Structure 1
Amino acid sequence: MLYLIRHGQTDWNKNKLIQGHADIPLNEAGKQQAKRVAERFRDIHIDVIYTSDLLRAQETAREIAAAAKVEKVEVCEQLRERSFGELESKNVEVLHELVPNYATNWGEEPLYNIETLEAAQERMVRRLTEIMKKSIGKKVAVVSHGAAINTFIHHVTSGEQGTGTTILQNTSITTFAYESGKWRLETINDAKHLE
């Protein structure tokens, strides 16, 4: 079982600024969200936790690790957010104006040095599959980012959900089963801990 979790809120999330690879910490609301999602894992046995190397994900993962009593959190650069190149730190409206199809431009040359959807998806699928292959029979939690997680959901659901269709809430949990080399989506965008 894989629990794929989006990080808590940052000031850039709140102000609708594009983060990508910019290393922005959680704000106070995000820290509270991280504590609340961590509570969900207090009674779920987790064997191992992985996180993106970006601070907002690491901070969220540390809260989950404390609640789940997992001593070590593995940090992986491959689990970081999709890069938005020259548009990072700009308002999301700028992205919509300059690259209106940024969430559906599969197979197109990237503009403004934005990472292609294929590249983001390929690294997420490769790394998550590697993690689960060495974690057969275990429960794994991974903290990552909205756009990156959505490329993975897109892959597993053959485009029915994920990139271009699904908006993931901060600290939402999406779960997958990995059996016999195949992925299956179980739940998506579960954020009941924020209600």
Structure 2
Amino acid sequence: MTLLALVRHGETDWNLHGRLQGSSDIPLNSTGRAQAREAVYELEGHAWDLLVSSPLSRASETADIIGSHLGIERSDVYPDLAERHFGEAEGFTDYDAYSHWPDGLYPGLEPRGALIERGVQAVEMIAQTYPDSSVIAVAHGGIIRAILGAIRGIPSPRILNAGVSTLVRDENGWTVRTINGIPARRYH
């Protein structure tokens, strides 16, 4: 059995101002660093074997903050855990993006199906690489929502900054246990 904690990175200035970040490499702000430290409280009750992250700095810094408090170092980076690419809309607020592209089809937007496929592929790769392990993977809200939605077969709620969602992979496949620290069964 593999236990996987998917943790969303802490807040960035673009999160604070409602800007689409996607694959833009925007660093954490001071609130984001504090949120990363707070995520430790949810994770510290378990013995974690490994810590991995998306290659984007907001996720890797969140992982390193968590790791420093839990006494584990980040051991790997998974490019498929990076956030959805929003193409030309990156840096825009939702309102500004809507005013340019009311249909939501931003030039260069990564298709949702591709996001889901690479997200599920990433967690499968983690489970295959680290069977019978407990792994913390720090990623992004959109990719985490895509993974949880694919596994559960229903849309997932918004993932909070530094929110911790847990999954288990056993011989029957994946089971989502918690979303943002709340039992998954409470989300319908």
Q: TM-score, normalised by structure 2?
A: 0.89
Q: Secondary structure at the match of 1:177?
A: strand
Quote the offset at 1:97 in angstroms. Answer: 4.6
CA contact (8 A) 1:61 1:73 kept: no
CA contact (8 A) 2:42 2:164 kept: no
Structure 1 residue ranges without an equivalent (≥5): 103-109
Task: Output the CA distance in 2 between the equivalents of 1:39 and 1:73.
Answer: 21
Per the alignment, residue 153 of structure 1 pairs with: 148
Task: Output the CA distance in 2 between the equivalents of 1:181 and 1:133.
Answer: 14
Deviations 1:4-25 (CA, angstroms, capped at 9, x unpaired): 0100000000000110011011
1:18-57 residue pairs with structure 2 within 5 A? 18-57=20-59
Q: Which moved more, 1:129-138 or 1:82-91?
A: 129-138
Per the alignment, residue 168 of structure 2 pairs with: 177
| Aligned with residue 135 of structure 2, among 132, 140, 158 | 140
Task: Output the CA distance in 1 between the equivalents of 2:71 and 2:109.
Answer: 37
CA contact (8 A) 1:6 1:169 kept: yes
Structure 2 residue ranges without an equivalent (≥5): 183-188
Task: Output the CA distance in 1 between the equivalents of 2:27 and 2:45.
Answer: 27
CA contact (8 A) 1:38 1:67 kept: yes
One-letter amino acid of the structure 2 residue matched with residue 61 of structure 1:
A
Q: Count residues in correspondence.
A: 180
CA contact (8 A) 1:38 1:64 kept: yes
Task: Output the CA distance in 1 between the equivalents of 2:65 and 2:9.
Answer: 11
Quote the offset at 1:70 in angstroms. Answer: 1.2
The sequence identity of aligned pairs, in percent, is 31
Per the alignment, residue 113 of structure 1 pairs with: 108
Quote the offset at 1:96 in angstroms. Answer: 4.1
Task: Output the CA distance in 1 between the equivalents of 2:162 and 2:102.
Answer: 26
Q: TM-score, normalised by structure 1?
A: 0.86
CA contact (8 A) 1:53 1:80 kept: yes
Q: Give structure 1 regions of 4+ aligned residues with deviation exceeding 2 angstroms.
A: 38-43, 94-102
Q: Secondary structure at the match of 2:10?
A: coil
Task: Output the CA distance in 1 between the equivalents of 2:45 and 2:110.
Answer: 38
